[in-house]
Amino acid sequence: DAKTTQPPSMDCAEGRAANLPCNHSTISGNEYVYWYRQIHSQGPQYIIHGLKNNETNEMASLIITEDRKSSTLILPHATLRDTAVYYCIVRANTGTASKLTFGTGTRLQVTL
């Protein structure tokens, strides 16, 4: 699976949009971009994933550049509960098991 690069930490004011970047310049054509987050003392939580089109769900939006070498996770109205470590992961959706390789992620701190 391709490796990703994320800033180690970011701050965001409550109510503002949080834009979390991720570089994945070695991504392969069959690899998806996944985002998970881990709130303190909880299990990783799936947020969103995409292949090449932008995606949106009730939690977030995912913007993938046209060359697919980078992406941005957008939390439109961050709340204190969004404080967590956010992981950007790229992997192929092939085979009977898909191994998620977690990096160090971005620690997002949402403040009042």
Partner 1 sequence: DTAVSQTPKYLVTQMGNDKSIKCEQNLGHDTMYWYKQDSKKFLKIMFSYNNKELIINETVPNRFSPKSPDKAHLNLHINSLELGDSAVYFCASSQVFSGNTIYFGEGSWLTVV
Q: Which residues, 6+ apart, have CB-to-CB distance to 36 below 8 Å?
A: 44, 45, 46, 47, 86, 87, 89, 100, 102
CB of 48: closest distance to partner 1 in angstroms? Answer: 10
45 lines the binding site for partner 1 (CB under 8 A): yes
Gyration radius of the chain's alpha carbons: 13
Q: Which x/- pattern, by CB under 8 A, does the window 66-85 give for partner 1?
A: -------------------x
Q: At its nearest, how many Å lie between partner 1 and the CB of residue 15?
A: 28
Cβ proximity of 61 and 76 under 8 Å: yes
Is residue 23 helix, strand or coil? strand
**Binding segment (CB under 8 A) for partner 1, from list 10-18, 43-51, 57-65, 74-82:** 43-51
For partner 1, the binding residues (CB under 8 A) are 34, 38, 41-46, 49, 85, 87, 93, 95-102, 104
